[in-house]
Structure 1
Amino acid sequence: MNAPPPPPAYVMLDGQGKKNGNYGPPPSGRRNVPRYNSDYYPKKSGGSSCLRCICCCYCILFLLIFIVSVLAFYFYTVYEPKVPSYKVQSLDVKSFDLLPDFSLNTVFLVTVEADNMNKAIGFTYGQGSSVLVEYTDSRLCSGSLPNFHQGPHNTTLIQIELKGRSEFGTGLQQALQDSKEKGRIPLLVRIQVPVSVVVGEISSRQFHVFVNCTLVVDNLAPGKKIGILSSKYDFDLTL
Structure 2
Amino acid sequence: MANEFYVPKKYDSLNDRRGYHSHRGKKKCGFLRCCCCCICTLFLILIIIILAIALTVYFLDPKVPTYNIDNLDIKDFNIKNGIKLHTNINVVLKATNPNKYIALDYLSNEVSMAYSGSILSSGHFPPTLQHGHATTNLNVILKGDADFGPTMQLQLLKDQKMGYIPLLIMVKVPIQLVIADFFHLKKFVVRVNCSMVIDSLEPNKKPKILKKVLTYDFHL
Settle same-fold status: TM greater than 0.5. yes
1:82 is matched with 63
The structure having more radius of gyration, on CA atoms, is 1
How does 1:197-216 map onto structure 2 within 5 Å?
A: 197-200=177-180, 201-216=182-197
What are the ranges of 5 or more consecutive residues in structure 1 without an aligned counterpart? 1-22
Question: Structure 1 or 2: larger helix share?
Answer: 2
Deviation (angstroms), 1:71? 2.4
State the superposition RMSD in angstroms.
3.4
**Distance in 1 between the 2:11 and 2:33 partners?**
43
Which residue number corresponds to residue 174 of structure 1?
154
Distance (Å, rounded) in 2 between the aligned partners of 1:152 and 1:32: 85
Q: Identify unmatched segments of 5+ residues in structure 2.
A: none
Give the corresponding residue for 1:222.
203
TM score, norm. by length of structure 2: 0.82
Q: Which has the higher contact order (CA 8 A, sep 6+)?
A: 2
Q: Kindly, what percent of the aligned residue pairs are identical?
A: 34
Aligned mates of 1:52, 1:143 — CA distance in 2: 65
For residues 178 and 58 of structure 1, do their structure 2 counterparts lie closer, same or farther at Cα, with a shift above 3 Å needed? Answer: farther
- What's the CA shift for 1:120? 1.4
Q: TM-score, normalised by structure 1?
A: 0.76
1:177 aligns to what SS in structure 2? helix
In the alignment, which of 110, 117, 125 is matched to residue 130 of structure 1?
110
Question: What amino acid is the match of 2:157?
Answer: Q
Does 2:52 align with 1:93? no
Give the structure 2 partner of residue 153 of structure 1: 133
When you count strand as a share of all residues, which structure comes out higher? 2
TM-superposed CA distance for 1:205, in Å, is: 2.2
* TM-aligned CA deviation for residue 173 of structure 1: 1.0
Amino acid at match of 2:176: S
